[in-house]
Amino acid sequence: MQANLYALGAIALWATLASLGVSLKHVPPFLLTGLALIIGSVLALPFVIKDRRQWAVSPRTLGLGVFTLFGFHFLLFIGLRIAPAVEVNLVNYLWPLLIVVLAPLYLPGVQLHRVHVIAALVGFAGAALAILGGRDPAGAATSNAAWSAGLGYLLALGSACIWANYSLQTKRIELKGQSFSTAAIGLFGLVSGLLSLLCHVALEPQVTLSGQDWLLLAVMGLGPLGAAFFLWDKALKRGDARQIGILSYLTPLSSTALLMLVSGRTLTWSIGLAAVMIIGAALLGTRARVRKIRR
Is 93 among the domain residues?
A: yes
Is 193 among the domain residues?
A: yes
Q: Report the distance separating Cα 228 and Cα 8, nearest Å.
A: 10
The pLDDT assigned to 134 comes to 52
Q: Which domain holds residue 238?
A: 2-290
Structural domains of the chain, count: 1
Q: ∠ CA 131-137-73 to the nearest 5 degrees? A: 40
- Global confidence as pTM: 0.79
- Three-state DSSP at 81 gives helix
The pLDDT assigned to 290 comes to 43
Q: If the chain, 295 residues long, is cut into consecutive pieces of 10 residues, what is the mean pLDDT of each piece?
A: 86 90 91 95 90 86 92 90 81 81 82 80 78 54 71 90 90 78 90 94 92 96 92 84 75 78 73 75 61 45
Is 295 among the domain residues?
A: no
Each residue of 68-120: pLDDT tens digit? 999 998 999 899 888 888 778 878 878 877 887 888 888 888 777 788 788 87
Each residue of 45-72: pLDDT tens digit? 988 888 888 888 888 889 999 999 999 9
Q: Report the distance separating Cα 47 and Cα 29, nearest Å.
A: 29
> Could you give the percent of the chain with pLDDT greater than 90?
30
Q: Report the distance separating Cα 236 and Cα 283, nearest Å.
A: 18
Which burial class, exposed, middle or buried, applies to 237 when counting CB atoms under 10 A from its CB (0-12, 13-18, 19+)? middle
Is 264 among the domain residues?
A: yes
Q: Does residue 83 contact residue 219 with C-beta atoms inside 8 Å?
A: no
Is 72 among the domain residues?
A: yes
